[in-house]
Amino acid sequence: METHGPTPPRRTSRRTLLRSGAYLGAAALGLAAAPSSAALATDRRSAAVNYPPTHWIPASASNYSVASRPTQYKVDFVVIHVTQETFPDARDIFQNPAKEVSAHYMVASADGYVGQFVREKDVAWHAGNWNYNTRSIGIEHEGWVDRPEYFTDAMYAASARLTAAVCDRYGIPKTRDRIIAHSEVPGATHTDPGPLWDWDRYIDLVNS
């Protein structure tokens, strides 16, 4: 997660934005992100076309660019991230208008819970490269690149279902050259999801 505006962005370190905190667990996630009945009703049509089901937790409008993708920009990549933070704390950063950072989705470690923060039609500020922001869906994963215990079976399974659905929606090949690491974005200064992310397993799950 780093800053990106509609003009070439100034770079802010993910480590600066996402400061370490205690792991709050799956119970805290439910308490922190519970939607109102009005919000659920508003997003019923959107949820009907999203698979797997996602929980709408809107990012601050200051942290992404409104667009009309894929008409305005073709979507042809999925970018995989790791938050370097807990889910609740990363959520708070997405909702803080001063941070200028967001992702479309975030997947929780404990149970594969999926929060959606930016609509796919809009441009999330996640990749550190404006061109790639316009062309991609960004998926964050709760955890740290050097703590493989965060990369649970539930997280891999839920994230792979999400990526497969995104690829199906936009006709993106389910291959490693189109499902990429944040570290592989041109100009990236970050290492996530890091060497402990099991890419072979993940791509197999996406394709299954």
For 182-205, write each residue's pLDDT tens digit. 999 999 999 999 999 999 999 999
> How is residue 21 annotated by DSSP?
-
Burial (CB < 10 A; 0-12, 13-18, 19+), residue 29, is buried
Which pLDDT score, from 0 to 100, does residue 20 have?
A: 33
From the DSSP assignment, how many helices (H) and strands (E) are in the chain? 8, 8
pLDDT, tens digit, 9 for 90 and up, residues 69-126 = 999 999 999 999 999 999 999 999 999 999 999 999 999 999 999 999 999 999 999 9
Query: Tell me, what's the pLDDT at 53?
Result: 86
* Straight-line distance from the first to the last Cα atom of the chain, in angstroms, rounded to the nearest whole number: 29
Predicted TM-score (pTM) of the model is: 0.79
pLDDT digits (tens, 9 = 90+) for 140-159: 999 999 999 999 999 999 99
Task: Give the integer Cα–Cα distance in Å for 208 and 204.
Answer: 6
